[in-house]
Structure 1
Amino acid sequence: MNEMVAFTTPASAPAWKRWLIFSPLARIVIYAACFFAVGYPLFHLATALHLGGKDASPLERNVVGLVLEFISILLVYIVAVRLVERRRVSELALRQLPTYGIAGLIAGFLLLSTMTLLLWLMGSYHVLSVNPDAAWLPALLGMGIATGIAEETLFRGVLYRISEEGLGTWAALAISALFFGGAHLNNPNATLWSALAIAIEAGILLALVFHLTRSLWMVIGLHAAWNFSEGTIYGFAVSGFDVKGIIVPSIIGSDWVTGGKFGVEGSVVAVGVSAGISAVLLAIAIRRKTIVAPSWVRKRKALS
């Protein structure tokens, strides 16, 4: 078995299991159904118990949100993979958390710092003041860690990984990136360009990071630090959501350059930086020969 592929259909599996349980599409549907089956009643239970409601403090709301995302997404993913794929969930191995998790946090911070520095050098970003009262902890728990857990488990752990197992790396990159960009179309101040920008800069980049590391902790950390650095540190909007950051900036210039009200994610600067890094990661993957061929190609080679 290709070491980059976590799961292959057991040779002894009957035809109905191959299609209804083990096929890539079936597993994606099964996992999505599990997330919904646990998450929907769990979030309604929290509402009924008035946990994290409108009257709660920002910290309480985000703590409750983090716990709910952890249970309904991360734990459900682990249990579902164990039951369906019958394997150790190596992409969430706890031994990787201190290394890959911290590496992801550092990478996300450096990435957003680079984008901000470039905008500053271009005269589009200016520091006006510092806000010592910024609610950094709720932002870290909610828009940072909780969002990182939910979106990376769904888009990289499920959609990218399983698509790659069936259709190969190239198709999985395109599919997961487009779905990731499309998922942001309903955000405030979103446009077709901002969704495409996120698909290119984050969808492809995060998928390639996962491809090379096979660690969800790495992309969760990177995603969390990206959001936290973008909004809570540097004061940009985050995917269209207004954030009161520690730095209060003046952002001037065209939306094309700065990202406007959507945030730096909608900037050609962000697209350029991320695309450049993605090109390097892709070159590494090609050099290491980790690109996964479609399942039918792998099967044909195994039989030849």
Structure 2
Amino acid sequence: MSQSIAFTTPSNAPAWQRWLVFSTLARIVIFAALLLGIGYLMHALLPMTGWTDKSAAPTLRALAHLLLELVPSVVGYLVLVKLIERRRMQEFSARSVVSAGIPAFLGGFVLFSTVVGLLWLFGSYHVLGINTQVDWLPEILVDGVAAGIAEEIVTRGVLFRAVEEGMGTWWALIISALFFGAAHIFNPGATLWSSLAIAIEAGILLALVFHVTRSLWACVGLHAAWNIAQGTIYGIPVSGTHSDGLLVSSRSGPDWLSGGGFGAEASVVALATCSLVSAALLLIALRRRSIVAPSWRRKNA
């Protein structure tokens, strides 16, 4: 159990700190305030560089997007872990880049390639040609690095972890997955179905990856590889956002099969494939008996 929980409230903390500093809700609110405050500052400063201008080179615009995503989330997380929780950041250790991050990155490519292969077998995915002029770097920076690191810090590093430490694993899975799905509701082509699909196939999957590995690099690797494979290689919209991939492709058939304008993530094929992986991870967690009970049950025990 101690290996599963990164932070517990210090036993000598006064009552006001237990509620206003160390509680699950307090830490989430503190991080959210840091995220918004630093994000506001970045939005004010970055236009001065000219990188956000429409006339700027695609790579510079991608770097601006990368900074807008990474600086608030990374700095906010560092403050939360180092100044509030006062602990080592083991979930982001350099060692786990090799032991967890790289295998998960390769696994993400295999996972999404499996989805595309099934769509092709079902007659939904079609390759129309090869785009040899594809500009790899901007999409890798935006869809891979920025989305992978920033979204995993917010959803798994803060929300899932804090809720799990307070309310237990089951509630953390539900709450973080619903949040992840809702966060995509305003994307181009999004529907209630696409958000629900994202919540189940990605929200639950990535939360279980974190629960089993206790490594944010594993979540980042899987998330980044999924997005890069989807957009930059297979030419499928990434959560509704158009991507120019190495393969010029199209999808046909009903939306429940092809995913429609949102992309393959809204397909039942992706939902079923990721759910199978989630079931395997859940089985591992149950066999390890690593499911975290709510804090009040742990205290009574």
TM-score, length of structure 2 as denominator length:
0.97
Aligned partner letter, 2:273 = V
Match in the other structure for 2:70 = 70
Structure 2, unaligned stretches of length 5 or more? none
Distance between the aligned counterparts of 1:211 and 1:101, measured in 2? Answer: 14
Q: What's 1:262 paired with?
A: 262
For the Cα contact (< 8 Å) 2:27–2:80, is it kept in 1?
no
Once the two structures are superposed, the pairs formed by residues 49-68 of structure 1 within 5 Å of their partners are: 49-68=49-68
The one-letter amino acid paired with 1:192 is L
Q: Is the 8 A contact 1:197 1:266 kept in 2?
A: yes
Residues 1:80 and 2:75 aligned together: no
Pairwise CA distance, 1:127: 1.2
Aligned counterparts, 1:114-153, within 5 A: 114-153=114-153
Q: Which residue of 1 aligns with 2:20?
A: 20
Rounded Cα–Cα distance in structure 1 between residues aligned with 2:14 and 2:245: 56
**8 A Cα contact 2:173 2:204, kept in partner:** yes
- Do the aligned partners of 1:251 and 1:258 also contact (CA within 8 Å) in 2? yes
Q: Letter of the aligned partner of 1:279 in structure 2?
A: A
Question: SS at 1:22's partner residue?
Answer: coil
Aligned to 1:293: 293
Shift of 1:53: 2.3
Q: Which residue of 2 aligns with 1:112?
A: 112
Aligned equivalents of 2:32, 2:17: Cα separation in 1: 18
Structure 1 residue 48 displacement after superposition = 2.9
Report the CA distance between 1:69 and its aligned residue.
Answer: 2.7
Give the Cα separation in 1 of the matches to 2:83 and 2:17: 14
Q: C-alpha separation between the residues in 1 aligned to 2:234 and 2:256? A: 19
Cα displacement string for residues 44-88 of structure 1 (whole angstroms, at most 9, x for unaligned residues): 100133233221111111122223433221233123211000101
Give the match for residue 93 of structure 2: 93
Deviates more, 1:8-17 or 1:94-103: 94-103
Name the SS for the 1:82 alignment partner: helix
Matched to 1:288, the amino acid is R
Contact 2:147 2:224 in 1 (8 A): yes
Deviates more, 1:78-87 or 1:164-173: 78-87
- In structure 2, the partner of 1:212 is 212
Question: Runs ≥4 in structure 1, deviation > 6 angstroms?
Answer: none
CA distance in 1, matches of 2:35, 2:192: 28
Deviations 1:225-271 (A, max 9, x none): 11111111111111111111110113111110010110000000000
**In the alignment, what sits opposite 1:239?**
239
Amino acid at match of 2:210: F
State the Cα deviation string for residues 195-235 of structure 1 (Å, max 9, x = none).
00000000000000000111111111111111111111111
Q: Which amino acid aligns with 1:63?
A: L
| Count of aligned residue pairs for this structure pair | 301
Tell me which moved more, 116-125 or 35-44.
35-44
Cα shift at 1:124: 1.1
- Of 97-106 and 214-223, more deviation after overlay is shown by 97-106
SS at match of 1:56: coil
CA displacement at 1:298 relative to structure 2: 0.3
Preserved contact between residue 145 and residue 221 of structure 1 (Cα < 8 Å): no
- Given that 1:126 and 1:250 are in contact with CA atoms closer than 8 Å, whether structure 2 keeps it comes out as yes
Aligned amino acid, residue 87 of structure 2: R
Runs of at least 5 residues in structure 1 that lack an aligned partner in the other structure: none
Aligned equivalent of 1:282: 282
Deviation at 1:97, TM superposition (A): 1.6
Q: Does residue 1:249 correspond to 2:249, yes or no?
A: yes
Give 2:167's aligned amino acid: L
